[in-house]
A and B are shown apart, each in its own frame.
Chain A
Amino acid sequence: MSSIDASSTLRHTAWVLRGNPLTAVAAVGAVLLSLVAIFGPLLVPYDPVASDVPQALQPPNAAHWFGTDQLGRDVFSRIVVATRLDLAIAVTAVSISFVIGAVIGSLCGYSGGKLDRVVGRLVDVLMAFPLFVLAMAMVAALGNRVENIVIATAIINLPFYIRFARAEVNVRRNLGWVEAARACGDSNVSVVLRFLLPNVLPGMAVQISLNLGWAILNAAGLSFIGLGVKPPTAEWGIMVAEGARFISTGRWWLVAFPGLALMIAVLCFNLLGDGLRDILDPRKRT
């Protein structure tokens, strides 16, 4: 069963990548980012937290490719090291929301009725808050720590996965093969978890990728306003916050480079998500 499916998927993937060079670039970018996150801290030229005040506020030069910040720390090293923290926060948060959201959403979409209504109301309440505001409030209530950024991001992402899974399962639950599975002896729960969920997963992969980008922006935003991450930790958002004081006096590198890192990371995941959508959309298959 799997061999034919795998080889045709691979062929289709290769065809999409050839047709959309952007997606290929994004995929490579995502891989590179992950590599930087894993190995970066071992390879940086300077210690990201070591201050060197005489070298403070240097523009980019040969010794410091991205310049130095107000404490003389090398911006390039800090950006590379921050990759790990930002990606880790995003990946953890999205994984938690995705797993919980997919299961809850699928069960709701299939069963309808009371479960669906109750969960629907809870989701409505969650979505009544502007998400960033909610994240702020959660971190405030739970405590100003990095773990709580992960939890807050996971919770505010949950409604999207619940709604998405619910909608996808709802569309499919009356299809012939789902009824056939019931006629062939499967119970309702078995149908949802063993058959519907795997059919819903490809679409969710697209959501996950897009969500990763959003989660990175969210985490950076929260640390920009001073929540979660504290100095001297290197994180893209907090680097922008520290550099913001100096922008009106022309020290652009403190903001531009972390901003660029953020932009590239988010761009890679967004393009990857769009590319995944092309790969997995059966209507575009030959």
Chain B
Amino acid sequence: MTSSLLRIEDLHVTFSTRGGLVEAVRGMTLSLQAGEMLGLVGESGSGKSVTGFAVTRLLDRAGRIVAGRILFREQDITRATSGDLQSLHGAAMAMIFQNPRAALNPIRPVGAQIADAILAHRRLSRQEARAEALNLLRAVQIRDPERRMDAYPHELSGGMCQRVMIAIAISCNPQLLIADEPTTGLDVTTQKVVMDLLAEIAAARGMATILITHDLGLAARYCRRVAVMELGRLVEEADPLTLFRSPQHRYTRRLVAASPTATSRVEDLVPEGEALPRVEVMELPPPAAGTPPLLDVQHIVKRFDDGVPAVENFSMTMAAGESVGLVGESGSGKSTTSRMICRLIDPSEGEILFDGYSIAKVPARDFHRSPLRKDIQIVFQDPNESLNPRFSAFDCIAHPLLRLLKMRAGDTLRRRVEECADRVGLPRELLSRFPHQLSGGQKARVGIARAIACRPRLLVLDEPTAALDVSVQAVVLQLLDRLRREDNLAFLFVSHDLNVVRMMCDRTIVLRAGGIVEQGESRALFANPQTDYTRELVEAVPQFGSPPSLVPA
């Protein structure tokens, strides 16, 4: 079988935006054999999704293929008419998308949507199509398929919606499936279920798949070949083992180093020559016996208006300079807990002692006046939302200095802000810029600078790098680690990413549905989980460095 199913030759795609023409893909060449699973990996702006949309000819109106060819089954479809494409779509090539609930018609039962897809290419009666749809729901392992046939997308979970999408996509047995970030936004356990399903179906039907993702580990686990894209170009292509053991291209090396694994350390995240200088910090003497722990949380509970407890009986202690991770899936209550600890919301019950002082007794709306406010600061998840769009970077960093330390505008303030910017590696000339003029990584640094401006003793970090590209995340994690050791800062690191938490935190607490499942020293916890749930979590994380796990033939 020498002819490939799909061949992309020197593809160039441009988008016309208000600012002019943007080249999203610049000369991409790739081929795919029948039945093969290929991973297309890249960060934001790499052009990986655009390539996927170009192949299926579902580009936005603003996007155009300006050069190159796409050959599907040895036929040039670059300039195919909409009639030709309609017969290809679904029957020969199909696609599944990133946000599964939005990708389904919200006012049509899912069974009807699957039936629509079936009837688009096959002549069946309504009842036959419905029966076929039911079979497909079983094939994608949806429990209780008869009932789910008439459900609407908003009644299904994210994972179930993605499985329905898969059912729709495979309904007419296409030979090629393109999966565009199919598990982004899903919990790690759901992600494993969906990906296992996808791999199984692809293998069973001999369907070639292109898995477009930013997660190197995911691509490594499921794909026989991985292609890496940077800024619209394909920089390297190899099987996962070769790619990770001996990456050739500079970018691939950076990407591989930056992707946290089960065994990576913070120091290794950035390859030699690009890392921040190592800071040697003296080991501080242990605190005298009898001093209260820095943070002592005692049996806090949070009940919202509907009476359902979001957090139940949560207790923990933290010493000065210690780093504790809080992991859990969505709905575990980790964000609510972190917000209670940094006093943005009030616990319904329980006590929080900071340095021996009760801070739970002070209501959240008055905490801004407490002298302890400056000792507990928070770094937020989404850099796009965590900076006031009308404040320059300087103003953002100066804000706590003005309010909490009661500094006055002037030279002292300016020097202090510049000092903070230097510490986080933000070039001083960027201080006068506004958030929309800064990159994601730069915004993250401003957020960190703001949080450390008043030299807090406890820093709550709520998924601080979840919205960042992997290479940017690597640099920010190194920065955070260094800041912690320089200032003897205590960290409460909230995250869903187990690898990151294992790297950054001495101890880890695992949360589920508002309650603590397990806690302990990080490395030991992840190497040898004591509870089933923790074990499930650990096993669900796609790791690389070992051969990809393929579904047995």
Chains A, B in direct contact (C-beta < 8 Å): yes
Report which residue of A177, A184, A186 has the largest number of chain B beta carbons within 10 angstroms of its beta carbon. A184
Looking at the assembled complex, report how far the CB atom of A57 sits from the nearest CB atom of chain B, in whole angstroms.
Answer: 54
Per-residue interface assignment for chain A, residues 171 to 190, with 1 indicating a CB less than 8 Å from any chain B CB and 0 otherwise: 00001110111111111100
In contact, B434 and A5 (Cβ under 8 angstroms): yes
**Shortest 4 CB-CB contacts between residues of A and residues of B:** A176-B386, A185-B403, A176-B380, A184-B400
- In addition to A176-B387, A180-B450, A187-B365, 10 A-B residue pairs with Cβ atoms within 8 Å of each other are A1-B391, A177-B391, A179-B339, A183-B344, A185-B404, A187-B369, A195-B390, A199-B388, A282-B389, A284-B18
B108 within 8 A of A: no
Q: Is the CB of B373 within 8 A of A4?
A: no
24 pairs of residues in contact across A and B, judged by CB atoms under 8 Å: A1-B392, A4-B433, A5-B434, A175-B386, A176-B380, A176-B381, A176-B382, A177-B389, A177-B391, A179-B380, A180-B380, A180-B386, A180-B450, A182-B344, A185-B369, A185-B400, A186-B368, A186-B403, A188-B365, A195-B388, A198-B390, A199-B388, A199-B390, A286-B18
| CB closest chain-A residue, reference B404 | A185
Q: Give a binary string over B325-364; 1 marks a CB under 8 Å from any A CB, 0 the rest.
A: 0000000000000010010100000000000000000000
Contact assessment for A182 and B368 in the assembled complex, using a CB-CB cutoff below 8 Å: yes
B78: Cβ under 8 A from any A Cβ: no
- Distance, CA A185 to CA B396, complexed state (A): 13
Chain B residue nearest to A15 (CB atoms) is: B18
A145 on the B face (CB < 8 A):
no
- How far, in whole Å, are A175 and B382 apart by their CA atoms in the complex? 9
Q: Quick one: which of A183, A185, A285 contacts B378, CB cutoff 8 A?
A: A183
Q: Please indicate the chain A residues that have their CB under 8 angstroms from the CB of B79 in the complex.
A: none
Bound-state Cα–Cα, A182 to B399, Å: 11
Contacts of A177 in B (CB 8 A): 380, 385-389, 391, 396
Cβ of B432 under 8 Å from chain A: yes
- B390:A181 contact, CB within 8 angstroms: no
Which residue from chain A places its CB closest to the CB of B366 in the assembled complex?
A187
Inter-chain contact B392/A4, CB cutoff 8 Å:
yes
Residues from chain A with Cβ under 8 Å of B385 in the complex: 175-177
User: Of the candidates A5, A187, A199, which one forms a contact with B368 in the assembled complex, judged by CB atoms under 8 Å apart?
Assistant: A187
A285 to B434 alpha-carbon distance, docked (Å) = 13
B215 contacts partner chain A, Cβ-Cβ < 8 Å: no
| B436 contacts A by Cβ under 8 Å | yes
B230 within 8 A of A: no
Q: CA of A264 to CA of B432 in the docked complex: distance in angstroms?
A: 43
Q: Which residues of A contact B373 (CB under 8 A)?
A: 183, 185
CA distance A187 to B432 in the complex (A): 26
Interface size on A, residues (CB 8 A): 23
Closest residue of chain B to A284 (Cβ to Cβ) is: B18
Alpha-carbon distance A202/B262, docked complex (angstroms): 48
Size of the chain B interface, CB-CB below 8 angstroms: 38
Interface of chain A, helix or strand or loop or mixed? helix
Instruction: Pick the residue among B378, B392, B399, B400 that contacts A179 (CB under 8 A).
Output: B378
Using an 8 Å CB-CB cutoff, how does the interface string of B424-456 with A read, 1 for contact, 0 for none?
000000001110100000000001001000000
B460 nearest in chain A by CB position: A183
Contacts of B390 in A (CB 8 A): 5, 195, 198-199
Which A residues are in CB contact (< 8 Å) with B374? 185
Q: Which residues on B sit within 8 Å (CB–CB) of A184?
A: 399-400, 403-404, 450
In the complex, what distance in Å separates the CA atom of A285 from the CA atom of B436?
A: 10
CB closest chain-B residue, reference A198: B390
Question: What's the least CB distance linking B296 to chain A, in Å?
Answer: 21
In the complex, chain A residues whose CB is within 8 Å of the CB of B388 = 177, 180-181, 195, 199
Q: Please determine whether B386 and A183 come into contact, CB atoms closer than 8 angstroms.
A: no
- Residue B377 is within 8 A (CB to CB) of chain A in the complex: yes
- Chain A residue with Cβ nearest B435: A177
Interface assignment of B181: CB less than 8 Å from any CB of chain A: no
A251 to B98, CA, bound (A): 64
Select from chain A the residue with minimum beta-carbon distance to B405: A185
- What's the least CB distance linking B433 to chain A, in Å? 7
Cβ contacts under 8 Å, B399 to chain A:
180-181, 184
B277 at the interface (CB under 8 A from A): no
Task: Report A147 CB to chain B, min CB distance, Å.
Answer: 37
Q: How would residues 82 to 125 of chain B score, 1 for a CB under 8 Å from any chain A CB and 0 otherwise?
A: 00000000000000000000000000000000000000000000
Chain B residues within 8 Å of A198, by CB: 390
Nearest-neighbour CB distance to chain A for B259, whole angstroms, equals 26
Task: Judge whether B15 is part of the interface by a CB distance below 8 angstroms.
Answer: no
Partner of B389, one of A181, A182, A183, A199: A199
The interface residues of chain A lying within 8 Å CB-to-CB of B290 are none
Query: Separation in Å of the A279 CB from the closest CB of chain B?
Result: 13
Contact partners of A179 in chain B: CB under 8 A: 339, 344, 378, 380
B180 proximal to A (CB < 8 A): no
Measured between beta carbons, the chain A residues less than 8 angstroms from B387 are 176-177, 180
Interface check B222, CB cutoff 8 A: no
Q: How far is the CA of A50 from the CA of B3 in the complex (A)?
A: 93
